Structure 1
Amino acid sequence: MGAGSPHLIGWSGDAVADSVLAVIDADTTVIEFSVWGGWDRSLAGQARIVLDKCLAEHPTGIVVDLHELSDPHAASAPLWLTACSQGAAMEPPVTIALCARANAPLARRMTRLGARDWLVLYAGVSQARAAVAGRRVLHNRMHLALPPDPAAAISARSLVSDACREWDLEHLHQRARLVVSELVVNAAEHAGTDVEVIVSPRGSGAAAALHLAVYDGDPILPRLRDPVTGPLGPSLEDRGLGLRIVGAAASAWGALPARSGKLVWAIVRGRPETG
């Protein structure tokens, strides 16, 4: 996808959606990815899409639960190994822990493919979750708890300004303030719950970016809507326009279910200069 394209986890009217689920833990930023049912071309395509979106969020780690996956020929093994390789190549690396029965054909095939030295298979999800959560802690992060009030966006913008100064990312200052403002206003207006904002740097040098995460207590994921057109053109009160602003200003953005609501995230990167 190009810059500004949304990375939303969720479908409507898709039967395969009942076989793939990704949920993020707001405290550890570990994503639990579950896939179940019979492995076929359709399920493989959806699993790849969701894994890509999980990696785009750049979480602490991803726990992949394969206990309920029916894959007697271990045809899904290349997908999981590729995901592990992609996560390891990210900066900072994203740990991917696979949970499967040790005697399952899938576990045996991954071992035969040479994953023994760098891939750990866990018997249980809770064990994998604890191991992944303890591997990486984001020391450089700023956190702010806000009330469900659109005016709280003022405090969120101030937090982003402080973060950009602290991490020498002032070239991202204006776009990051715009993005976090829209995300907080959307959360306050639609969720009506307390809002948490977490800001953290990602990458370094020319690849440096700012990661913005907004949690709220509403489990309904946001969706882009077409602007409502009136006599004077698109309505400025249509909050779907706010997400379009996020899409235009951020390099990537998306949403994930969380244990007690949802997380909406965005990554703001520097843009190449045009001659």
Structure 2
Amino acid sequence: MMVATVAAHVETGALVITMAGRWSVGQAYTLQRALARCAAHHPPYVAVDCTRIAPDKLLPTLLPAMVMLRESCRRGVTVLVCAPASALTELLRRLPTRRVRLYSRLTEALGRVRPYPVPPRARRAHRRLAPVPQAVSAARGLVRECCERWRLTDVADDAQLVASELVANAVEHAGTDIDLTLCHHRQRLRIAVADRHHGVPALPRRQSTNPAGPHQPLAVRGRGLAMVTRSAANWGVLRGTDGKIVWASLTTSPASRLRLPSLAAIPRAGYPA
């Protein structure tokens, strides 16, 4: 039976899918669920670690996985395949994408990529923030700037609120460097806040009569994550060996297009309007 585990690599922003066992059609949903989390976070890289799969089972296992990952490549995600078999080189060359790289080990793959890349003209932005109160205003400024540049005025206020709450939570509870990433793709604005602390925020309680205390989680003592829940279409947490990534997704209007005035409103040349 195939097992696929999903984790975040905070330092690079990558999503790591570790595969073990033997592929079977009945276990395909396991990988599909892992890739669904990839779509939610929209990371710059997806690392597929196949080093635990027996060499004679590698091709039957990896080929269906690469078919599923093809859509991720189309969205601009680079796939890092970690496998010891050199026979995979020819297989990867035949794939209809150049966004697949082959490495012998996971540590090598994560050590060779550039953390949080921002390709030219891509609707992606990244900024590393220090764990200080000023990080909240810096996060709001980056979100406001991106929403103006990407013409996302309909979600600008909610996006600034979500980003400021997630960054404030990281400043208060993590106390480590913070990586803020924004990505707009297919009517979704994704906000990801990564820190180097393993504590995971709890889901907000909808009703609580307990008095707030200074050492209670943000979800209990304040309205921070409850406001995120109301403002975002979805949100979640990706655990990792070096910290965690908290992400939120907001639904945007269709991409802005050049809107021409109605022909009925344009005076015809030579004729009275």
Query: Could you say which TM-score interval applies, normalised by the shorter chain?
Result: 0.5 to 0.7
CA shift, 1:192, in A, is 3.9
Which amino acid letter does the alignment assign opposite residue 164 of structure 2? S
Counterpart in the other structure of 1:224:
203
Deviations for 1:180-234, whole angstroms, at most 9, x for unmatched residues? 1221232234x2413525243424xxx45543222223113334254343399xx
* Contact persistence 1:99–1:125 (CA under 8 A): yes
Alignment of 1:243-254 (within 5 A): 243-254=225-236
Bigger Rg, which one:
2
* 2:271 aligned partner: none
Distance in 1 of aligned mates of 2:219 and 2:37 = 29
Determine if contact 1:157/1:177 at 8 Å carries over to the other structure: yes
The residue identity in structure 2 corresponding to 1:86 is E
Call closer, same or farther: CA 1:83–1:188 in 2, change over 3 Å. same
Supply the distance in 1 between the matched residues of 2:56 and 2:49 (Cα, whole angstroms): 16
Q: How far did 1:177 drift? A: 1.2
Q: 1:148 to 1:43 in 2, by over 3 A?
A: farther
Per-residue CA deviations over 1:75-114 (Å, capped at 9, x if unaligned) read 5345412332111221xx112122223278xx59x949x6
Deviation, structure 1 residue 172 = 2.0
- 1:96: which partner in 2? 79
Q: 2:159 aligns with which of 176, 179, 184?
A: 176
SS of 1:230's equivalent in the other structure is coil
Query: Pick from 200, 204, 211: which aligns with 2:182?
Result: 200
After TM superposition, the score normalised by the length of structure 1 is 0.67
Alignment correspondent of 2:106: 125
- Contact (CA 8 Å) 2:238, 2:246: kept in 1 or not? yes
Is the CA contact (8 Å cut-off) linking 2:189 and 2:252 kept in structure 1? Answer: no
Q: 1: CA distance between counterparts of 2:51 and 2:141?
A: 45
The whole-number CA distance in structure 1 between the counterparts of 2:164 and 2:115 is 31
Q: Do 2:137 and 2:164's aligned partners in 1 also have CA atoms closer than 8 Å?
A: yes
Structure 2 gaps, min length 5: 212-217, 255-273
Q: SS of the counterpart of 1:88? A: helix
Aligned counterpart in structure 1 of residue 68 of structure 2, from 46, 58, 83: 83
2:214 is matched with none
**TM-superposed deviation, 1:178:** 1.6
Query: Which of 46, 50, 53 is the matching residue for 1:62?
Result: 46
Letter in 1 for 2:198: P
Q: The residue matched to 1:229 in structure 2 has which SS?
A: coil
1:165/1:20 CA distance change after superposition, 3 Å = same
Contact 1:44/1:76, CA 8 A, preserved across alignment: no
AA aligned to 2:192 is A
Cα distance in 2 between the residues matched to 1:20 and 1:53: 11
Question: Match of 2:268?
Answer: none
Tell me, yes or no, if the aligned pair for 2:184 and 2:190 is still in contact at 8 Å.
yes
Asked whether the 8 Å contact 1:35–1:66 carries over to 2, the reply is yes
Code of the residue aligned with 1:249 in structure 2: it is S
The answer (yes or no) to whether the contact 1:157–1:181 under 8 Å persists in 2 is yes
State the shift of 1:63 in Å: 1.5
Could you tell me which of 245, 262, 265 is aligned with 1:263? 245
Q: 1:72 Cα shift?
A: 5.3
Q: Which moved more, 1:239-248 or 1:55-64?
A: 239-248
The residue identity in structure 1 corresponding to 2:182 is S
User: Which SS does the other structure have where 2:68 is aligned?
Assistant: helix
Output the TM-score relative to the length of structure 2: 0.67
Residues 115 and 249 (structure 1), Cα distance of their counterparts in 2 relative to 1, 3 Å cut: same
Q: Which secondary structure does the structure 2 equivalent of 1:137 belong to?
A: coil
CA distance in 2, matches of 1:135, 1:219: 20
C-alpha separation in 2, matches of 1:135 and 1:115: 25
